[in-house]
Structure 1
């Protein structure tokens, strides 16, 4: 059956108005669509370019009703919006992805159990519902291990690496003082060669397209840089792509998904996490792909054919974190960046700067990935000296 297509002039709703919501809004407006942004934060950058702006908690029923009357289809920029809100909205219009998909992905325990039940490889894990259970989970999995909150948490927040008994004792204390009903997941620490991710786009008719496999490098739990294409053998890239497609098919997801994987020291691939929306590691698509991840999100939300994912050149994307943004927006740093061949600056327009906050990114393009990598390395060294 042919999916209903939303024509330009329709209004797309997006839950969340941070940088991902902003870049979705930019793509949608360019393609002729209106955008209704709902974000409780009045300073969220997408509000400034939205056709309709809703600044209220996601629990506000009156705003929910007004938002639903305006939106012809709805998507999201963040997986931690209330699943029950998404399920309510999809009674009246397409919700991409669905509330049911969101429920699986929002909870790391549910997500790991879902993947395991489909015979998709994940790190060994154990459910933790109390400080007492943490000790027994450590006994089963051994150390080192990683304890994560089952819900919420991103960019390293809500995660603790346990390497010895003192770490276990410290996290036990955190768990004892947590609110009732909280759950955690303990995962076996994975010795990996590199972290990979794959963007998979799936339409309502089941059609899929996949972007090249990328390599991600983190600092303090926050993505530092993404290299595309990843420096991996063809067979590893093919396996990573196939696993990622299987994940999204199993979810029956519609929209843009990012599947994060570990390439282990023994050569196997393990699924780390899934994001049901455009991803930081996919920002390179804005500059070096024929169709960006954000345009794909518009296409999937509107029932349009998915775009091609052709890579036009190698690239390295570098995040600007906290005060680092000052190194490229004033003085010699501003001049030097714009004098760099192949460098493209993206600023998110966030008015408040704080440690660990993503303020923008720079994509370095070149005919050879080695050239882009070296230029990015020099840039990172420069902003570290300046901040």
Structure 2
């Protein structure tokens, strides 16, 4: 039986549980808190922050291979373990160009992949002269540790930019070199694709999905996205180029923009399972979590195809500071036909926190409607869920 070490014990690790049982894999998790979701499903726990490499050394002695639930790790320290023979999948060299968002942008650009225009914010530079070719609004991003909209700011003019940089620098004792600026893309829609690569170099891609954000946090995912076959082919080619270049073993999430003139741009890369792939738990023959375990254990990759006409996934986000388990709302949502509710077991709610998600399958009962107009149907389903979940 394989023992897989997982750095990170949040809901992404928790959702590996069913796949681990199916594949006969034991999970050993490194996570800081007894209240973290994956604590309830792991065979063994190493209680420590995910960037504690000494704890990862202990984790390595308990398992055959180590994978990642999140990327907020200390690569330099982990590299010492890799040199000692610890097997990380994906390999650390695949993570190196991705963890800093400026480095990631440069890597994608140098691969010839389409990205928004961008530059690093340096402490001594004249912002005004350098920003002229982007024009306002612009997007300011923290280069490290930003997720779910954290560390991302849409800036309308130079005065607001200088004020934001000054505020962030003073309040967080950072320097400006920890930011990048990129053009604001007036996209038609946001897209994402999950792609996995095996030890043998086999690559499979999941259906391209549309993601819908509110306040820069993903609220809904529609599978499949309503785009042209040519756009699907472009996105699959991007996935193949990226995963082969990095020699990835594992699964990656690739977030993209579809511009108003039909062009595809790469937005960001998540080197792990991802929110935009949660629909696969209920809608696909092989979930993204099973695919990750298959890849890192050296097993053949599974079929990523949809088993239904389509699906809509809605995140159940916190909207208040509370210790409620929202049992009444969850029960109402569960009564929606073809609804699958996944509750992460977190004990505290706060605004924006991911507490769970629900996927509704668009199956043969509404196949014709789903095939004819997948986005309006999915939007109607999502609106029903949100009307139950969020206070009016």
TM-score, length of structure 1 as denominator length: 0.92
1:364 aligns with 2:364: no
Cα RMSD (Å): 2.1
Q: 2:367 maps to what in 1? A: none
Change beyond 3 A, Cα 1:155–1:69: same
- 3-state DSSP class of the match of 1:248? helix
Once the 2 structures are TM-superposed, how far is the Cα of residue 33 of structure 1 from its aligned partner? 1.4
Task: Determine the C-alpha separation between the residues in 1 that align with 2:166 and 2:124.
Answer: 7
The correspondence for 1:266, drawn from 261, 264, 274, is 261
CA gap 1:204/1:268 in 2 versus in 1, 3 angstroms: same
Counterpart in the other structure of 2:317:
321
Counterpart mapping for 1:38-187 below 5 A:
38-58=30-50, 60=52, 62-91=54-83, 92-130=85-123, 132-177=125-170, 178-180=173-175, 182-187=177-182
SS at 1:340's partner residue? coil
The question of whether the paired residues in 1 share the 8 Å contact of 2:323 and 2:347 is answered with no
C-alpha change, 1:384 and 1:251, in structure 2 (3 Å) is same
Number of positions where the alignment pairs a residue of Structure 1 with one of Structure 2: 377
Distance of 2:96 and 2:29 partners within structure 1: 22
Partner of 2:287: 292
Give unmatched runs, 5+ long, in structure 1: 1-8
For the residue of structure 2 that corresponds to 1:190, the secondary structure is: coil
- Does residue 330 of structure 1 match 2:330? no
Who is 1:385 aligned against? 391
Deviations 1:26-49 (A, max 9, x none): 422332111110012332111121
Q: CA deviation at 1:82?
A: 1.6
Q: 2:7 aligns with which of 8, 12, 15?
A: 15
TM-score normalised by the chain length of structure 2: 0.90
Tell me: CA distance 1:320–1:58, structure 2 relative to 1, closer, same or farther (3 Å). Answer: closer
Superposition deviation, residue 133 in structure 1: 4.8
Q: Which moved more, 1:234-243 or 1:367-376?
A: 367-376
Q: 1:383 Cα shift?
A: 2.3
Secondary structure at 1:127 match in 2: strand
In structure 2, the CA distance between the partners of 1:131 and 1:41, relative to structure 1 (3 Å rule), is farther
1:233-254 per-residue CA deviation (whole Å, 9 max, x = no partner) reads 2211121221122121122211
SS in 2 for 1:120: coil
Matches within 5 A, 1:180-195: 180=175, 182-195=177-190
Q: Does 1:28 align with 2:28?
A: no
Task: Give 3-state SS (helix, strand or coil) of 2:306's partner.
Answer: coil
Distance 1:188 1:288, change over 3 A: same
Q: Deviations over 1:107-165 (max 9, x none)?
A: 11111111111111110001112275544432342211101011111111111111123
Moved more, 276-285 or 129-138: 129-138
Q: Distance in 2 between matches of 1:266 and 1:62?
A: 50
How far is the alpha carbon of 1:212 from its aligned partner? 0.6
Shift in Å at residue 71 of structure 1? 1.5
Q: Hey, what's the Cα distance between the residues in 1 that align with 2:179 and 2:187?
A: 23
Which sections of structure 2, spanning at least 5 residues, go unmatched? 364-369
Are 1:135 and 1:168, in contact at CA under 8 Å, matched by a contact in 2?
A: no
